[in-house]
Chain A
Amino acid sequence: MSDKDPIKDLFRDKLQSHEVMPSKAVWSSVSSSLGHSAASAAGVGSASFLKVAAIAVGVSAVGVAGFMFLSSDDSEPKKVIEKTVLQEKDLDESISSETTDSDVQESASPEIMLSQSESLSSEKVISNENIQDPQPEMITTNESLPVSTPSESQANNLIVEEPNVDVLPEENLVSPQVPVNVPVAPVVDETQVITETSDATPQDVSSEETPVEVEESEMVLDKPMVLPNIFTPNGDRVNDVFEIEMGDKLEFQIIILNQQNQTVFKSADPDFKWDGTMLNGEPAPSGTYLYYFSAKDETGKDVTESSLLTIQR
């Protein structure tokens, strides 16, 4: 595996120590599942919500019952009434249990606060707010405190980490500038391809048999051929030309065809760079093309390759 992996570097640098504040609700649920009254925010809030909801349900139940009573003269009205009464009882019970719970919570939390002499101000404020009617603005300002000002000790960890995020992107500048045209796996593929071709013409390759193969594969590994299959000649200076990178070649020939088998480009220059202009001078439209090339390297070995080539403008 090659170490050159700018995508990996990019994502790792920017995301490894990246931090995102989760919403308040997460702590509330975690805390309540830890068996704390905590989440005192959610606890009390939802209790009062339940009350309202219960009352609303009760009222509507009575309304519905009344309606049913009026509309269904013949069908046993008594049962309906009994049912609603029962429902209301249930609701009352649930309300009272909710309220006692939250009462306990409310009375418990100040004690905890007192026993912890340092008492985090933010926590205190939050729980106080919940006992009274909370003003949402205040909650948010308090929550953002740990991030913006290092006043609390608990904020230290966050603050220490943050510079990473700022520093790393600058390092990005350095690493990706190294040309990145050498994907990892293809190197292996090409060695295979080339050794195959060399097997096909063993006589051409002079005397020694086994050492040559080793040398060849080493050479290929040193300077792997890069056969692009896409380029974007749109003038943004990124990947605007098509070229083939490889070691020194003696004879070279490339031809690029469009899907109608018409030649759109050909060259005998190993250092050619095609900007996507067709032989007739018009820019080649986006689409899929096909290229063939053949070359002879220093040892006289023939290399022929073909690949699809996508132009995306």
Chain B
Amino acid sequence: MTVVHYVNQFFAGLGGEEAADHEPVRLDGPHGPGKALVAAGLPIDLTVACGDDRFALHEADCLETLLAWIDEAGGDVVVCGPSFGSGRYGYACGVLARELGRRGTPVVAAMTPDSPGVLASEGAAYIVPTTANVAGMRVAVPVVASLASRLAAGTLVRSAEEEGYLPRGLRVNVRSEALGAERAIELVLAKLGGDVRSEIEPPTDRVAPPDPLGDPSGALVALVTEAGCVPQGNPDRLPTRHANVWLRYPIGDRAELAPEDYLSVHAGFDTTEANRDPNRLVPLDAARALVEAGRIGRIHDEFFTTTGVDTPVAVSTRMGQEIGVELRNAGVDAVILTGT
């Protein structure tokens, strides 16, 4: 097991604020709080450090150096901090954790829950909450050491509540001692008694409807669908369900979508009728008629498509935002969104 520890200039013993521009360094063995981690049972093979200002001002370069050293050492797990309430140090810990997480390297960090490092980590690290100052070191170190040891060994890490780390925005499966039926009865009885509880926190994202289109006769209108409409042969392999991608296809000067050219790969409904007339998925023929009649201005020259089957709201939200950016950049005024 190879353990790498990241600290800032102060905890590496390089100096205080006057050394905040210190370039990245690597040091053998434990330094500063690393010694406490060793005492808690976590051997530290390598310490890497960077000045807080240096990291903030030269993030990409510092990351490249630090990640290269960690790769070279073959780190099985990386510990960042504890950074306590320090904003710059916490941010550096969070960013490093995020990048390591993207590479699949387990990371444990420790900081205050409101540290900018929590947001910067994007859920990639197990973050142990601490007090704002080093007084919390004694409490945090054993928790960090325990988590890091188990992550390096590939053994089970339990839920945030059981382990005491900050929720990473993930939901993991655990076996309950009670069946779902028993838990449902307990919850409904509690609710009847005025105690409303839920095993799932409600999503908070609510979308306000946009203002009505002023004058549609000059509007550029785009066609967007979740009906899984793609060119015959599904050349880009749009998933038939659980899609997490959207695609776009040129419309050009087509008057309509011909059945020999398009089909639906949607796994959520009987596509027989739709495949006889793909315009019922992407209503190009009707939109062209509206243009012809002067009711709308123009049709955007490509349509956007995905399959809306078993698609979680969060994935739909992301795809909608991505498509929205494309449409806005193209100057689209309005969208006809067909659902199935």
- Chain A partners chain B: no
Q: Which residues of A contact B (CB under 8 A)?
A: none
Q: Which residues of B contact A (CB under 8 A)?
A: none
